[in-house]
């Protein structure tokens, strides 16, 4: 089997380094890049064309689920393994429906990450042993979990939603997305109108409830 190339996407530097140290112990796996957020992950995946992206579900600017979904449109989409602390079925189903091929609980990384990488590289789906695989796969097969208020929003509106919920101003969002402040204001107005939300506090609550950011603001 040839060397498997891996991109790490995780916003905590120490966690990325720990993941890299774990993978560097295996001669058949090569880490080709490290990303701090979902946007960086997409750009590095486009540049390096890794076989696999190991992706944290909660990252600033663009979360792991959004990044996973957008990677499916790359000329050479990588296999994605989601890392998450969330064991709820809905999280797993949403990740797999977004295009992920693996879902790994963070407290299982030491025991399962290498196995997950090899399984996904073979074209298999890997789900942490602690999770109810048969039940999850049935929900994925039926496409359950696809109906969400987030489906009302365009990809750009979902991105603006996350940035607003993280506490960024319109000007900061414009700089991050390289668009004008007026364009940000338009996206912000449209998404609030679609969601029938009238203030930032409401957007933050919605973002947390719909897993756009975690409760700690990530």
Average pLDDT, the chain: 92
pLDDT digits (tens, 9 = 90+) for 46-77: 999 999 999 999 999 999 999 999 999 999 99
Complete DSSP assignment for the chain: -PPEEEEEE-S-HHHHHHHHHHHHT-TTEEEEEEESSHHHHHHHHHHH--SEEEEES--SSS-HHHHHHHHTTSSSPPEEEEEES---HHHHHHHHHTT-SEEEEGGGHHHHHHHHHHHHHTT--EE-TTS-HHHHHHHHHTTTT---GGGGS-HHHHHHHHHHHTT--HHHHHHHHTS-HHHHHHHHHHHHHHHT--SHHHHHHHHHHTTSS-TT--
- pTM of the predicted protein model: 0.85
pLDDT digits (tens, 9 = 90+) for 119-170: 999 999 999 999 999 999 888 888 765 567 888 899 999 999 999 999 999 9
The pLDDT of residue 218 is: 47
């Amino acid at each position: 089997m040839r060397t498997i190339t891996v991109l790490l996407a995780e916003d905590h530097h120490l966690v990325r380094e720990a993941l890299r140290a774990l993978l560097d112990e295996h001669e058949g796996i090569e880490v080709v890049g490290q990303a701090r957020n979902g946007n960086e992950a997409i750009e590095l995946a486009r540049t390096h064309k890794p076989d696999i992206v190991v992706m944290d579900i909660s990252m600033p600017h663009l979360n792991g689920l959004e990044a996973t979904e957008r990677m499916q449109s790359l000329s050479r989409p990588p296999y994605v393994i989601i890392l998450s602390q969330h064991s709820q079925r809905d999280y797993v189903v949403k990740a797999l429906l977004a295009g992920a091929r693996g879902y790994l609980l963070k407290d299982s990384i030491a025991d399962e990450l290498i196995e997950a990488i090899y399984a996904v590289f073979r074209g298999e789906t890997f789900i942490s042993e602690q999770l109810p695989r048969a039940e999850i796969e049935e929900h994925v097969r039926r496409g359950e979990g696809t109906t969400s208020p987030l489906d009302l929003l365009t990809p750009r509106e979902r991105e603006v939603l996350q940035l607003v919920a993280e506490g960024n101003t319109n000007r900061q969002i414009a700089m991050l997305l390289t668009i004008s402040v007026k364009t940000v204001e338009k996206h912000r107005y449209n998404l609030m109108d679609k969601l029938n939300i009238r203030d930032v506090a409401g957007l933050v609550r919605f973002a947390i409830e719909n897993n756009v950011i975690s409760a700690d603001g990530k």
